[in-house]
Amino acid sequence: MRTAVVGHLEWVEFLPVARLPRQGEILETTECFEEPAGGGAVASVQLARLAGGCTFFTAIGDDENGRRVETRLSELGVTVRAVRREGKPTRRAFVYLDDDGERTITTIGERIHPVRADDLPWDELAGADAVYFVAGDVDALHTAREARTLVATSRVTGLLERAHVQLDAVVGSARDAAERYHAIEPPPRLVVATDGAQGGHWTAGEGRTGKWSAAQLPGERRDAYGAGDSFAAGLAFALGEGRATEDALQLAARCGATCLTGRGPYERQLTRADL
């Protein structure tokens, strides 16, 4: 199965703590770790683990973190197609992971993403079974539409409004105002709104609606970082396989639940063997 992601990433420093510090307070911890993460990176690794490989179209800075991104994502099974932005740093992020299983994120620097004019092998998207679009420009989204199945995040609703591309699904949040879906033309074939432990609800283009329940956690909850992007990647994979809406959402829910039981985005993600 051929899968791809078009989007952005950050080089992320993760700091596990018992709780967030209060203003002016000094906390001590015994560990920290770093990974290439952000929406596009997390989704590409999840797709690689489900499909046996994934191509990630992205943009990185002309710096050491950019080089580390390519090395690490390759180790995780992702084929990285990256353009380097000369004179720009790779965007960074700092993430607290607390004992309540929540993540608190601060991004550092400008978000950079690929555009269709970049010298990347965009023809590889043609005929792909599933593509998840996280960030890019209108022309990149039109090129991604050449895939058999195209899923996009509602975080880029403004772009979706300008592009007028028929999406197979758009994934948003029922809780986060920044990720809430707003109607676009043409209407996506499926609109999905996640609602944390409540599962979520969906609306199909022909007017059908429904809900799904959150999947049971396959272990103790560790932290929420990457769970939403793992869910979206799982949905793209399942729709690309041709699964019905309800089955696709249950698989996606398992992806999100599995990620919740790992520390950071990659310690635990659903794999093909788990299916």
DSSP letter string over 60-74?
Answer: EESSHHHHHHHHHHH
In percent, how much of the chain has pLDDT > 90?
A: 92
Evaluate whether residue 23 is within a structural domain: no
Report whether pLDDT(218) > 80. Answer: yes
User: 125 is in which domain, residue-wise?
Assistant: 3-18+32-268
Q: How far is CA 121 from the centre of its chain?
A: 21
Structure-block tokens of residue 237: 């994979």
Instruction: Compute the distance between CA of residue 21 and CA of residue 222 in angstroms, rounded to an integer.
Output: 19
Structure-block tokens of residue 188: 């996506």
Q: At 150, which CATH number?
A: 3.40.1190.20
DSSP letter string, 66-112: HHHHHHHHHHTTEEEEEEEETT-PPPEEEEEE-TTS-EEEEEES---
Instruction: Compute the distance between CA of residue 184 and CA of residue 167 in angstroms, rounded to an integer.
Output: 10
Evaluate whether residue 26 is within a structural domain: no
pLDDT at position 264 is 96
Evaluate whether residue 275 is within a structural domain: no
Evaluate whether residue 25 is within a structural domain: no
Evaluate whether residue 24 is within a structural domain: no
pLDDT at position 175 is 82
Q: What is the pLDDT of residues 47-68, one digit of tens each?
A: 999 999 999 999 999 999 999 9
What burial class does residue 180 get, using C-beta atoms within 10 Å of its C-beta: 0-12 exposed, 13-18 middle, 19+ buried? Answer: middle
Structure-block tokens of residue 192: 């999905």
As a whole number, mean pLDDT of residues 2-25 equals 96
Evaluate whether residue 273 is within a structural domain: no
Instruction: Compute the distance between CA of residue 143 and CA of residue 122 in angstroms, rounded to an integer.
Output: 7
Q: What is the pLDDT of residues 174-205, one digit of tens each?
A: 888 778 888 999 999 999 999 989 999 999 98
- The b/e string for 188-221 (b: 16+ C-beta within 10 A; e otherwise) is bbbbbbbeeeebbbbbeeeeeeeebebbebeeee
pLDDT at position 30 is 87
As a whole number, mean pLDDT of residues 145-164 equals 97
Q: What is the pLDDT of residues 65-96, one digit of tens each?
A: 999 999 999 999 999 999 999 999 999 999 99
Structure-block tokens of residue 23: 């203003």
Evaluate whether residue 118 is within a structural domain: yes
pLDDT at position 164 is 97
Q: What is the DSSP letter of 200?
A: E
Evaluate whether residue 187 is within a structural domain: yes
As a whole number, mean pLDDT of residues 144-152 equals 98
Backbone angles phi, psi at 68, to 5 degrees: -65, -35
How many domains does the chain divide into? 1
As a whole number, mean pLDDT of residues 10-39 equals 95
